[in-house]
Amino acid sequence: MAAELNKLTDEKLMELIQKHHHAAFATLVRRHTHRFYAVAYRSLFNQSEAEDIVQDAFLKIWNKPTIWKAGRGAKFTTWFYRVVVNGCFDYDKKKKPYLLDEAHEIPEDSALMAETVERESRYGMMEDAIRRLPERQRIALNLCFYEGLSNKEAAAIMNVNLKALQSLIMRAKTTLRETISSDIGDVA
């Protein structure tokens, strides 16, 4: 049964989910959880919040599967990016202050510590720089750079036109270059 479901496309699975087929839902969750978790994580830089957003997004399609309109020609993943991205936008509206999470804990071994401190400070600097970007710039960068979506797809997900999306990415990159160069020297 599970093997048969694994052969189905996301869109076919969604049709089954609309008939309350729990195994189809499980297949879809197992297929895409990590991918969409990464999207949410790169927007929020917090494990538990990213997990909550992905869980909410999947439960939304289980509890109200009719929000997916089959037959419009849209791919499930493109549509689901929008659900997750909207979740991130909603979260950003009620954002909490920045906290250093477990990913940046530093080991006690001295050699390892020096290397870790250097790496962590670089990660931390980049994370901070991305975190400080306006949310739309951050999401645009996330979709185009990390997810490898085309500008057209990312624009559709963010509900903006192509020029607006290109402008968001350009401004994000400019801001990042400026931030990095002021923090570590001559990057730009």
Partner 1 sequence: MNGDDQILEYLLKDIPVMPPSSNLEERIISAAVPHAEKERSLPFSEWLLHLTIPRSAYALAFTLVLGVLVGLAAPSDLSVSSDPDMIDSFLYDDEGIL
Q: Which stretches of the chain bind partner 1, using CB under 8 A?
A: 20, 22, 25-26, 29-30, 33-34, 37-38, 41-42, 47, 50-51, 54-55, 58-59, 62-63, 101-103, 122-123, 126-127, 130, 141, 145-146, 173, 176-177, 180, 187-188
Helix (H) or strand (E) holding 94: none
One-letter identity of residue 90? D
CB of 139 to partner 1, least distance (A): 14
Q: How far is the CB of 81 from partner 1 (least distance, A)?
A: 16
In the complex, least distance from residue 69 CB atom to partner 1, rounded to whole angstroms: 20
Cα–Cα–Cα angle for 166, 170, 171, rounded to 5 degrees: 120
**Please, what is the minimum distance in Å from the beta carbon of residue 49 to partner 1?**
11
CA distance 89 to 125: 23
Q: Are 55 and 78 in contact (CB under 8 A)?
A: no
Cβ distance to partner 1 smaller for residue 86 or 175: 175
Cα separation, 48 vs 12, in Å, equals 30
Output 30 or 163, the one with its CB closest to partner 1: 30
- Token pair 């989910």: residue: 17
Q: Give the tokens for residue 129.
A: 């720089």
- Residue number, 55 or 86, with CB nearest to partner 1: 55
Residue (159 or 170) nearer to partner 1, CB: 170
Three-point CA angle 144, 150, 156, nearest 5°: 90
CB of 39 to partner 1, least distance (A): 10
Nearest residue (CB) to partner 1, 150 versus 181: 181
81: exposed, middle or buried (Cβ count in 10 Å: 0-12, 13-18, 19+): buried
Question: Among residues 106 and 188, whose Cβ is nearest to partner 1?
Answer: 188
Written as six digits, the tokens of 167 are: 């402008």
Q: How far is the CB of 59 from partner 1 (least distance, A)?
A: 6
